[in-house]
Structure 1
């Protein structure tokens, strides 16, 4: 199967040819499952608008908070982060470290020390929506790209190698290292 993705998400997809075999796009809508159902599937390709993607993001964020694990979240714009800013500032009480990646231009953000905000302006991460945390077997989460206004395609994966690759690639683009290994 040729890559259904472009940009950053396409690069990660191309690195792991087995992803095409794990789940087809025949059933491509992002379901409103519980986290346990996503974990049971292990991998799921999807097309989605913001509502189900936000739902899955919250499930992963809640897992990080309940298990005191680090969290990386990418937002297309700082306005998207502002929508969840209060929740994240409360979440940091249980989470050891949060990385926020967004195109924030020249906006100055005041965040607690354990929240690091990285600017993805003028990078291929500017249209990426990802939420990654550490699970019992390593990093897991969702990686998606906005391909049309308000429409995303991407995948959820439990495969720690896929998530490590995404974290390493993001770190290289942003000049940092994410310690969600």
Structure 2
């Protein structure tokens, strides 16, 4: 089956051709499920607007906070992070390590603005500039949301419980950003 994705998400999808077996081309919406339903499904492709992705993102963030697990979150634009900054200031207190990635000006990346356990990285001028990911560690390894804005306010991507897919995403992102992202 040919991949419906392009860019960063397309490269991830091509690395794991078995995802084609689970892909449903008629799946045009991201359900407003609880995290348990996403976990039960294990994998879910979607086309979505911002609201359902925000819902899924907060579910994953809440899981990381309640279970004291590391968290990686990417924001396509600095303004997207600014929208959740106050919530993150409280949330990161219960999380051992947080990576926040956005199109920060490389000369003006925030330093320890949230807490000593947070690290800010710039994705400016990379293929991650339109990527929305929220990844944490669950009982079987890393899991989360991987999406890419393909049109203004419209996203394509997937939720996966597969730790191998998430580890690959983290490895590629780390290589792109010149750092190691360790959510084993």
Looking at structure 2, the residues matched to 125 and 96 of structure 1 have their Cα atoms a distance apart, in angstroms, of 24
State the alpha-carbon separation in 2 of the partners of residues 27 and 126 from structure 1. 25
In structure 2, the partner of 1:35 is 35
Segments of 5+ residues of structure 2 without an aligned counterpart are none
2:60 pairs with 1:57: no
Aligned partner of 2:114 in structure 1 is 111
> 1:39 Cα shift?
0.5
| CA distance in structure 1 between the partners assigned to 2:50 and 2:136 by the alignment | 20
Whole-angstrom distance in 1 between the partners of 2:25 and 2:116: 41
Q: Is the 8 A contact 2:42 2:160 kept in 1?
A: yes
Q: Distance in 2 between matches of 1:23 and 1:69?
A: 29
Name structure 1 gaps, 5 residues minimum.
Answer: none
- In the TM superposition, residue 25 of structure 1 has moved relative to its aligned partner by 2.2
Q: TM-score, normalised by structure 2?
A: 0.96
1:179 corresponds to 2:177: no
Any idea what the Cα deviations from partners look like across 1:111-170, whole Å, max 9, x if unmatched?
A: 311110000000000000000000000000010000000000000000000000000000
Which of residues 138, 152, 156 is equivalent to 2:155? 152
Aligned residues: 181
Task: Tell me the CA shift for residue 172 of structure 1.
Answer: 0.1
Q: CA deviation at 1:51?
A: 0.2
Match of 1:83 in 2: 83
CA distance in 2, matches of 1:115, 1:45: 29
Tell me the distance in 1 between the aligned counterparts of 2:26 and 2:41.
15
Equivalent residue runs for 1:121-136 within 5 Å: 121-136=124-139
Deviation at 1:107, TM superposition (A): 4.3
Q: Distance in 2 between matches of 1:131 and 1:124?
A: 17
Following TM superposition, the consecutive aligned residue runs of length 4 or more in structure 1 with deviations greater than 4 angstroms are none
**Residue-by-residue CA offset, 1:9-39 (whole Å, 9 max, x unaligned):** 1110000000011131212310000000000
Match of 1:17 in 2: 17
